[in-house]
Amino acid sequence: MGRKAEKLYEDFAVIMDEIHSADDPREAYALVQDRINEFRSAGWAVPDDLIRVERNLMSECMAESQGR
């Protein structure tokens, strides 16, 4: 694994902290989308945990937009 790949995986913990500290789920969702795009543009598999987080945040955003 190259240095860029190592950095992306190391930063996973950092982005999880940012997601948990974000006040707005849309902001957290945008962070996750950016990270997923970085993995994909580099040609690497997106970690399953990141995909799960994306789905959960999408559900949160949809529920919030519907006033739940």
Sign of CA dihedral 10, 12, 17, 21: positive
Tell me the percentage of the chain whose pLDDT exceeds 90. Answer: 15
Domain boundaries, the chain: 3-65
pLDDT in tens, 21-37: 888 888 888 989 998 99
3 state DSSP class of 12: helix
Q: Please, what is the angle between helix 25-42 and helix 48-65, to 10°?
A: 150
Give the global pTM: 0.72
For tokens 């990270």, what's the residue? Answer: 35
